[in-house]
Amino acid sequence: SSSGSSSLKISDLAEVIIHNITIQDGYSTLDGSCFEISSSKVSVYGGLIKNCTTPSNGGALRLIGSDQVYFENFLFENNKADQG
């Protein structure tokens, strides 16, 4: 992704289960360049987020009002956020 938004967004009280996902080489001018979860319940089993960058916050992942997020057998590799 080379836009101002995340590569993958899940929002609006969604309930999602994801198996074996790879998200890579994302870039966003906003927070959370690769994966944004907003007010949703998400479980991710197996995967990788790598080489995601933003000049803002949350290079790999941005959570907004989501307190039911679970990752198992998952790697975060070489992600960068200039502000945290």
What is residue 40's predicted lDDT score, i.e. its pLDDT?
Answer: 93
In this structure, the number of other CB atoms found within 10 A of the CB of residue 53 comes to 18
What is residue 73's predicted lDDT score, i.e. its pLDDT?
Answer: 98
pTM of the predicted model, to two decimals?
A: 0.80
What is residue 83's predicted lDDT score, i.e. its pLDDT?
Answer: 86
What is residue 33's predicted lDDT score, i.e. its pLDDT?
Answer: 77
Structure tokens at 81: 């956020």
pLDDT tens sequence for the chain (84 residues): 445 667 888 888 889 999 999 999 988 888 777 888 899 999 999 999 999 998 888 888 888 887 799 999 999 999 998 887
Distances from the Cα of 84 to the Cα of 13, 31, 40, 42, 60, angstroms: 26, 10, 22, 23, 11
